[in-house]
Amino acid sequence: MSQKQWIAGINAVAAAIEHDADNVREVLIEAGGKNPRLTEIEGSARRFGIDVRRVNQQALSGVAGSLRHQGVVARYEAAKTWDENELEDLVTAAEGRALLLILDGVQDPHNLGACLRSAAAAGVTAVIFPKDKAVQVNATVRKTSAGAADSVAVIPVTNLARTMRDLQKLGVWLYGLAGEAKGSLYNVDLRGNVGLVLGGEGDGLRRLTRENCDQLVNIPMPGADGGAGVESLNVSVAAGVTLFEAVRQRVTG
């Protein structure tokens, strides 16, 4: 199923055209807008064969709603919206090598976008996060992800703990990242059906999420022990480290 929406703002629209032009259906630009980047966006859109219309500011504001449009909006059609009921089929199709990224309550759209970008590069089976109390895929996420938001299966779920238990029944081993964990990420086998579970900014993994992990592991950080003042990694950085450790094992194993 496709999902149509309006994205607004110079950076968001420019990124959508640059990285995912096939899904940009129409661009509306403020008539008489003075920002030279609006002219650049218009030229880029026309080169990709995207319809461009000059409209008044009132029309732009009506389409953008609460979004800050900066003189440009675009009608965007995401490639696919995934449903949590499709998760079982995705895991089964991976034939014992499913790689899942599970995010527990990420709030910053820039962090989610960066996580999606790493996930796409690592070839993950799906990225899973709760529908409530977490940022959803929006224009900022799409811009930060550089098109990855539509090249990887992104699955918001109603109940994260229940989804984790369902994944375990499918043979997925869930590793939760926690700074105080005894075991190291680099000492566990990440080659089979694996879910890497990361917490949100600040609070990390919630209690129920922790309890539904098969094992908690940490990312060794020698700098923290050396008094460098580093207590934990940003969630998007941690996602990149964990995903590409799994990729390393799968390539060399």
Query: Hey, where are the domains in the chain?
Result: 3-78, 84-252
pTM for this structure? Answer: 0.75
The three-state secondary structure class of 190 is coil
Quick check: 165 and 224 in contact, CB under 8 A?
Answer: no
Q: At what angle do helices 36-47 and 10-20 cross, to 10 degrees?
A: 20
17 is an annotated ligand-binding site residue: no
Amino acid letter for position 42: E
219 is an annotated ligand-binding site residue: yes
Give the CATH fold of the 3-78 domain: 60s Ribosomal Protein L30; Chain: A; (3.30.1330)
Q: What single-letter DSSP state applies at residue 57?
A: H
Per-residue pLDDT of the chain (253 residues; tens, 9 = 90+): 445 678 889 988 888 888 778 889 999 999 988 899 999 999 999 999 999 999 999 999 998 887 789 999 999 876 567 899 999 999 999 999 999 999 998 999 999 999 999 999 999 999 999 999 888 887 678 778 877 887 899 999 999 999 999 999 999 999 999 988 999 999 999 999 999 999 988 778 999 999 999 999 999 987 665 444 445 789 999 999 999 999 999 998 7
Question: What dotted CATH number matches 84-252?
Answer: 3.40.1280.10
Residue identified by tokens 């209690």 is: 207
41 is an annotated ligand-binding site residue: no
